[in-house]
Structure 1
Amino acid sequence: MQSIYLIRHAQASGQEPDAELTDLGLVQAERLAELLADSAIKYIVSSPWKRAIHTAVPLARTVMRHIHTDERLQERVLSTRHLDNWMDVLAHTYLDEDWAEEGGESSRIATSRGMEVLKELWGRSEQRAAVITHGNLLSLLIRTYDPSFGFEQWKMLSNPDVFVLERQGNGDVPMLRRCWNG
């Protein structure tokens, strides 16, 4: 594997696992497929949540690849209870990576499961892969490669958003760059 495209899903109607893409989100997913049509993506893995899969479908059709799903790419749950102050809670999770609200997942644990997927991808024989996930998990994966990426940068992510990790030569440490901000 030489390149992994990290993709946040297109605009959705909500945050629950079965939230659909909006009409705009469907258009964005098609534009995303057009953008990545010439990128030679050979492997696609997505969160099993509906909005991520529906973002992946036009890309899979364009590059003629199957969509693999992986539960480790689903969005992080901040808490099992309703949080009126969820933005404050989320901000705190960037400052203390081991802290979690009741029933929630810490940044460290969420990052770990996402990085397991990336580690497996780096070991695959295909040259390029696409990972379709959610904003918070995406930001945590980016933060692994760019420690300055935090809560404020998360707030500036768009739907969709695309970053790419690229290995240079035989280097083990991939370079991160943003390649599209939908």
Structure 2
Amino acid sequence: MKNVYVIRHCKAVGQAPDAGLTESGVRQAEELAAIFMDKEIDCILSSPYERAVRTIKPLADQLGIEVELDHRLAERVLSSENHPEWLDRLRYTYDDLDLCYEGGESSNTAMSRAISVVREALIRENKNIIVVSHGNLISLLLKYFDNRIGFEEWEALSNPDVFHLSFIENAPVIRRICAE
């Protein structure tokens, strides 16, 4: 059996790629490290965004494991334009997975890149893998395995949030194990 722990980053000071964690987020990262110390983690993959890396760095340092950065785990770009109705636009992308706004990527495109990371991780020798990413991308990753996951589940995510995917065959058992 392989275990993939999907972690949404801790509370951050903003949305930019270089946005760090808030003081609360730093404490949350330390708490996450404590939660995972007994899980025999042998691989950590992370979005290159600062808030994702800072979320998992305390655990990586304690375990002596290198955080492998993967650009495919970066947050999905909904659109290159700022729209006041961005939330409605996001909702529509859960109904039409091929809907793509100017300068953005469709749900299917984002889902495919996230799934490619998990598929590659599953063929490695590692048994207990952590994947750190961002809310929208994580919800699409989970949707791939459970089509019932959608906009409402994205809205219900917290910072941080943790899902345990247990792989015995191709389809995992998904369990939410930690939410702020």
TM-score normalised by structure 2 residue count: 0.97
RMSD: 1.0
Instruction: Quote how far apart the aligned CAs of 1:63 are.
Output: 2.2
Name 2:176's counterpart in structure 1. 178
Runs (4 or more) in structure 1 with deviation over 2 Å come to: none
Cα separation, 2, equivalents of 1:111 and 1:160: 20
Aligned-pair CA distance for 1:62: 2.4
* Aligned-residue offset at 1:147: 1.0
Give the 3-state SS of the residue equivalent to 1:38 in structure 2. Answer: coil
Instruction: Tell me what 1:137 maps to.
Output: 137
CA drift of 1:6 comes to 0.4
Query: What SS does structure 1 have at the residue aligned with 2:16?
Result: coil
**Where in structure 2 are the equivalents of 1:159-178 lying within 5 Å?**
159-168=159-168, 171-178=169-176
Identity %: 46
Give 3-state SS (helix, strand or coil) of 1:144's partner. Answer: helix
Compute the displacement of 1:174 (Å). 1.6
Q: Is the 8 A contact 1:44 1:131 kept in 2?
A: yes
| 1:173 Cα deviation from its structure 2 partner | 2.1
Q: Does residue 116 of structure 2 align to residue 116 of structure 1?
A: yes
CA distance in 1, matches of 2:142, 2:62: 26
The answer for the alignment partner of 2:42 in structure 1 is 42
C-alpha separation in 2, matches of 1:106 and 1:163: 23
- Tell me the distance in 1 between the aligned counterparts of 2:165 and 2:158: 18
Q: Which amino acid aligns with 1:174?
A: P
Q: How far apart are the structure 2 equivalents of 1:138 and 1:172?
A: 18
Question: In the comparison of the two structures, how many residue pairs are matched?
Answer: 180
Where in structure 2 are there 5+ consecutive unaligned residues? Answer: none
- 2:12 maps to 12
Q: CA deviation at 1:82?
A: 1.1
Q: CA deviation at 1:39?
A: 0.6
- 1:59 is aligned to 59
Letter in 2 for 1:11: K
SS of the residue 1:114 aligns to: helix
- The amino acid that maps onto 1:172 is N
- Cα offset for 1:172? 2.9
Cα distance in 1 for residues equivalent to 2:5 and 2:101:
30
Does 1:77 find its partner at 2:67? no
For residues 107-137 of structure 1, what are the alpha-carbon distances to aligned partners after superposition, in whole Å with 9 as ceiling and x for unaligned?
Answer: 0000000000000000000111000000000
Report SS of the residue matched to 1:99. coil
Contact 1:40 1:63 in 2 (8 A): no
